């Protein structure tokens, strides 16, 4: 009789054997990337909280902000619900949503990086040849990611207490952010079992975050205002979203700790599903098999630009789709900005600082919207540039460059394709913002053309960010990912919120977003745009030259 040997017998242990060593390996691999995420988010949250105290110094001003936000679809859709008008409650209404989204993104990227990406690159197969259990790789990824979210929650709470906010509300806010990250770590674990590629897994997890955001936004807009206009009761759709649950904790107000059970239960269910699915697929394969490609390649594919387009088009499409939806949403409610501001001169000053000093309030709001859309487009540029880093680290680039394809041509094809996507994204951002705004103001053609031109004023700043990230890839491939996202975060803090934090002008000038005119709130001057474009070209050329001179890194 032939004996049947189970995987457990082969590894002389359990399905989780080797988890602790894989945790140490994952921490070593993320020794730069995770600290950059954690430090950036914590510092940014402290800056946001400190700016609230600087902008609104009296209870009357805080109450005015809460009342204006509670009745505005713009504030409810983009910031979330309002739960009182204490300083901490205003910090929570402006911070929970943004940082919960960031924690969710950090978690999904981390889980996919340590699971599906390891299988895609062949590292998981080498690890599996040792005494390692079948579920150890996924377990280690979840341990590291959940631990990072716990650290983020505690660091956020400690930072908020340090600037004078109540300890119980600060702990609740930190728990809301970290709990959301843990919940979406479970989503990423399932996505990593379904697909056979890290890019697709990240896309599925990102789509889940987007759906959760949209459900919460619809539920918050369909809300009821109570308590003399300072508190919002969300619609039922907000309760279908983990991001909505994070808001319902209501830090510095109810501090509803029981809602954490929903977030943790959501994570446990998805992690359990992931562990079941991992036993029903082969190593390196996903449950959903990819479709076979056409028998004959397209004519344009056997070229540098054809290959770059083939690799970048899916990412480009989803980012363009997001920009269109966001632009239309911002434009559709642009005519209601007076309702948001109400009688609060401080809120009016806020929009004027972000969107242009002496312009009409509506134009200041539209400029603020275009500024945020430009940040979204810059994130697309960073992710797309780092796709080149993924091709290099996975080993797919080296055999490609062993052909007649020069290094400079390969990189130029990708960079130029991404630049085309960035330009198109700005045009679409302006067109759909202007079109939606025109629908509510009965001037579709005029506003569409005006906003399309205004959106292009932000293009040079994004091109500089793109070129800097490309240079980082050309010079420092080992830390390209973490350094690139750190630069992106710094540009956002300095360029979009530096004025609110009252940072010195010499520091603000480090961000390219500081130098672009805040159209349509102020007139566009050519000189800063020309200088930024020239700087982007010089940095891009330097990036290609640096990549052409260095060794390929595996």
- Other beta carbons within 10 angstroms of residue 527's beta carbon come to 8
Element (H, E) at 231: strand 231-233
Name the nearest CA neighbour of 374 among 474, 233, 512, 214: 512
CA 381 to chain centre: 12
Sign of CA dihedral 53, 55, 58, 59: negative
- Could you tell me which residues come within 8 angstroms of residue 187 by beta carbon, excluding any fewer than 6 positions away? 108, 205, 208, 209, 270
Give the up-direction half-sphere exposure of residue 514: CA atoms within 13 A in the CB hemisphere. Answer: 18
Residues in contact with 551: Cβ distance below 8 Å, sequence separation at least 6, in sequence order: none
Q: Could you read off the pLDDT tens digit of each residue along the chain, which spans 554 residues?
A: 344 434 444 444 578 788 888 899 889 888 888 888 898 889 888 888 887 877 777 888 888 888 877 877 667 777 788 888 889 998 898 888 889 988 998 999 899 988 888 777 777 667 766 777 778 888 999 999 999 999 999 999 999 999 999 999 999 999 999 999 999 999 999 998 988 777 778 878 888 888 888 888 888 878 888 877 788 888 888 999 999 999 999 999 989 999 999 999 999 999 999 999 988 776 766 667 666 767 776 776 778 888 888 888 878 888 888 888 888 878 877 666 655 554 455 555 555 555 554 446 777 778 878 888 898 899 889 988 988 887 887 778 888 888 888 889 999 999 999 999 999 999 999 999 999 888 878 888 888 999 999 999 999 999 999 999 999 999 988 888 778 887 887 777 776 666 655 667 777 778 888 888 888 877 888 899 999 999 999 999 999 999 988 888 75
For the stretch 399-451, pLDDT in tens is 888 888 888 999 999 999 999 999 999 999 999 999 988 887 888 888 899 99
Q: Which helix (H) or strand (E) holds 226?
A: strand 224-226
Q: Are 239 and 219 in contact (CB under 8 A)?
A: yes
| pLDDT (0 to 100) of residue 209 | 87
pLDDT of residue 136: 86
Give the relative orientation of helices 198-221 and 167-194 as an angle to the nearest 10 degrees: 130
Domain boundaries, the chain: 13-284, 306-554
- Residues forming beta bridges with residue 83, ordered by sequence position: 231
Strand pairing class (231-233; 224-226): antiparallel
pLDDT at 359: 46
pLDDT of the residue at 6: 45
Query: Residue 124's pLDDT is what?
Result: 65
Tokens of 438: 């025109």
d(CA 368, CA 331) in angstroms, rounded, equals: 11
Which two structure tokens, joined as six digits, stand for 516?
């672009």
CB neighbour class for 32 (10 Å; exposed up to 12, middle 13-18, buried from 19): middle
The per-residue pLDDT for 541 is 94
pTM recorded for the entire structure: 0.77
SS3 content of the chain, % helix, strand, coil (to 5): 75, 0, 25
| End-to-end CA separation in angstroms for the chain | 47
Q: Using CB atoms within 10 A of its CB, is residue 176 exposed (0-12), middle (13-18) or buried (19+)?
A: buried
The gap from C-alpha 99 to its chain's centroid, in whole angstroms, comes to 10
User: What distance in Å separates the CA atoms of residue 130 and residue 11, rounded to the nearest whole number?
Assistant: 8
| Tokens (6 digits) for 383 | 């992710």
Torsion of CA 106, 417, 201, 121, to 10 degrees: -100
């Amino acid at each position: 009789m032939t004996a049947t040997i189970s995987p457990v017998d082969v590894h002389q242990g359990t399905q989780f054997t080797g988890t602790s060593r894989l945790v140490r390996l994952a921490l070593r691999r993320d020794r730069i990337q995770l600290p950059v995420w954690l430090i950036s988010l914590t510092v940014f949250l402290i800056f946001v909280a400190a700016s609230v105290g600087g902008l609104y110094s009296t209870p009357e001003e805080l109450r005015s902000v809460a009342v204006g936000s509670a009745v505005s679809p713009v504030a409810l859709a983009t910031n979330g619900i309002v739960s009182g008008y204490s300083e901490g409650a205003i910090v929570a209404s402006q911070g929970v949503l943004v940082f919960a989204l960031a924690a969710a993104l950090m978690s999904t990227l981390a889980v996919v990086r340590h699971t599906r990406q390891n299988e895609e690159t062949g590292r998981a197969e080498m690890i599996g040849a040792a005494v390692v259990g079948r579920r150890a790789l996924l377990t280690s990824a979840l341990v590291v990611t959940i631990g990072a979210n716990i650290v983020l929650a505690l660091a956020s709470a400690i930072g908020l207490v340090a600037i004078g906010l109540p300890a119980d509300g600060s702990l609740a806010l930190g728990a809301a952010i970290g709990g959301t990250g843990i919940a979406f770590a479970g989503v990423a674990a399932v996505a990593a079992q379904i697909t056979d590629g890290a890019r697709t897994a990240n896309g599925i997890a990102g789509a889940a975050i987007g759906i959760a955001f949209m459900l919460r936004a619809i539920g918050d807009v369909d809300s009821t205002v109570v308590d003399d206009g300072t508190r919002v009761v969300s619609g039922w759709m907000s309760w279908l979203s983990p991001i909505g649950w994070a808001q319902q904790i209501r830090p510095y107000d109810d501090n509803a700790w029981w809602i954490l059970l929903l977030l943790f239960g959501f994570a446990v269910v998805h992690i359990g599903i992931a562990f079941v699915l991992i036993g029903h697929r082969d190593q390196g394969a996903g449950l959903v098999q990819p479709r076979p490609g056409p028998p004959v390649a397209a004519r344009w594919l056997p070229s540098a630009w054809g290959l770059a387009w083939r690799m970048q088009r899916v990412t480009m499409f989803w980012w363009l789709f997001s920009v269109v939806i966001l632009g239309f949403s911002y434009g559709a409610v642009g005519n209601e900005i007076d309702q948001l501001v109400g009688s609060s001169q401080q809120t009016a000053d806020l929009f004027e600082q972000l969107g242009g000093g002496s312009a009409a309030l509506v134009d200041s709001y539209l400029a603020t919207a275009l500024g945020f859309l430009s940040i979204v487009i810059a994130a697309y540029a960073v992710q797309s540039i780092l796709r080149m880093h993924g091709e290099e680290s996975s080993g797919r680039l080296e055999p490609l460059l062993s052909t007649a394809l020069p290094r400079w041509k390969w990189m130029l094809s990708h960079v130029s394709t991404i630049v085309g996507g960035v330009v198109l994204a700005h045009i679409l951002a302006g067109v759909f913002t202007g079109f939606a705004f025109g629908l509510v103001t009965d001037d579709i053609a005029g506003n569409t053309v005006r906003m399309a031109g205004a959106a292009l004023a932000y293009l040079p700043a994004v091109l500089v960010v793109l070129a800097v990230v490309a240079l980082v890839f050309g010079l420092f491939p080992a830390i390209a990912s973490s350094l690139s996202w750190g630069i992106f975060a710094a540009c956002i803090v300095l360029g979009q919120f530096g004025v609110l934090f009252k940072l010195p002008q010499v520091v603000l000038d480090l961000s390219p977003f500081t130098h672009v005119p805040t159209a349509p709130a102020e007139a566009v001057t050519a000189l800063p745009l020309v200088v930024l474009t020239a700087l982007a070209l010089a940095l891009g050329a330097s990036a290609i030259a640096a990549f052409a001179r260095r060794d390929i890194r595996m």
